[in-house]
Structures are given as structure tokens and as C-alpha cells.
Amino acid sequence: MLARFGELAGDGETWRDRLVRYLREEKELGRLDGDVDAAAAMLVGVCHESVLTALLPHGPRVTTSPAVKAVVKTVLEGIAVR
């Protein structure tokens, strides 16, 4: 999976770049508000936590963090248009 994901990033743009671009476009459309760079950093952080937990030895065999839903909810509520 990681190899395939790496192949998709051949345009020089990272997945984090694509996420930030998407969030900025949503903000420009008026569907989000707030700091999209901070929102992206939070989402990237929880993704890295999940991957590192799965890859590092002696860690739990959980491939997704239980905090993922909470972080996504917090990001969306924190940057939602009011």
C-alpha cells in the first residue's frame, strides 16, 4: 500500500500538500473557515501516529488511532463556517 501511494505522488506534490490545497479550496468556496494549515497539521499528525504505531516494533497491533474520529470532528467543527 505504501509503495502504491508513493507512486501516486509522482507530480512532486506530497499528500500533505494535496490536503492543504483541498482545505484551502473549500475555504475559498466558503465551506470552511479558520486556519487550514493547523487543521492539516492535526490530520497529518494523527495519520503519522497510526502509521508509526503499526510499523514500529513492540507496539500494539492497532492500525488506526482511536483518536482519529475525535480529531476529524474537532478539525471540522473548529474550521466550520458558523
For residue 6, is it within any domain? no
Query: Does position 7 have pLDDT exceeding 70, yes or no?
Result: no
And the C-alpha cell for 80? 466550520
For residue 43, is it within any domain? yes
For residue 46, is it within any domain? yes
pLDDT band for 2, please (50, 70, 90 cuts): low
For residue 48, is it within any domain? yes
Q: How many domains does the chain have?
A: 1
Lowest mean pLDDT among 1-5, 11-15, 51-55: 1-5
Give 57-62's long-range contacts (Cβ < 8 A, gap of 24+): none
Query: Does position 30 have pLDDT exceeding 90, yes or no?
Result: yes
**Cα dihedral 11, 50, 65, 75 sign:** negative
pLDDT band for 28, please (50, 70, 90 cuts): very high
For residue 60, is it within any domain? yes
For residue 69, is it within any domain? yes
CA-nearest of 51, 61, 47 to 19 is 47
Domain encompassing residue 54: 15-79
Q: Is the pTM of this model over 0.85?
A: no
Three state DSSP letters for 15-41:
HHHHHHHHHHHHHHCCCECCCHHHHHH
